[in-house]
Amino acid sequence: MTPKMIPDLNARVMAGRAKAAAARAAESPTAQAPKPTAKPASPAGDRWPMLNDVVDYIARVMGEAELRTWIILYRDTKKNGLARTGMTDIARRSGMTRRGVVKAIAGLKARGLLEIADPGTIHGKPNTYRLKMPNLVNHGSLP
């Protein structure tokens, strides 16, 4: 993806989000007022927008190993927004080698899509990860 394509992508992202918001508002005029009985938002926030952005805009620039790793970590993310999964387990579940997972995690970190919230130990405790989303509009370019 060239840098010239990024502003166009950002414009399309924002236009799509604005169109979706307008459609939701038109369908349900009372949806804007929060219900007093609604559950409070979890620390992880609403996970659907994150998944939608990855599928719609970011997956095309990710490598296959990065995408497989991201999906497994996304699936393992708890309500607190953290995923605690060993690299060997990710490798087994994704059909990759452990070394492939190490490279994929490094790639996700470099793209700003993942941070290690709590490093594990060599023998035993796995890393704890936090999935992140880059700001597609203000980032200037996709990682």
- The pLDDT tens digits along the chain (143 residues) read 444 545 555 666 667 777 777 766 666 555 555 544 444 444 455 677 778 877 777 888 888 999 999 999 999 999 898 999 999 999 999 999 999 999 999 999 998 889 999 998 887 889 999 998 766 544 444 54
Decide which of 3.40.50.150, 3.40.50.2300, 2.30.30.790, 1.10.10.10 is the CATH code for 5-131: 1.10.10.10
**Which region, left, alpha or beta, applies to residue 124 given φ > 0 means left and ψ of -120 to 50 means alpha?**
left
pTM, entire model: 0.62
In the block, residue with structure tokens 């290690």: 116
Q: What stretch of H or E contains 22?
A: helix 5-27
Task: Report the largest interatomic distance among the alpha carbons of the chain, rounded to a whole angstrom.
Answer: 55
Backbone angles phi, psi at 7, to 5 degrees: -60, -35
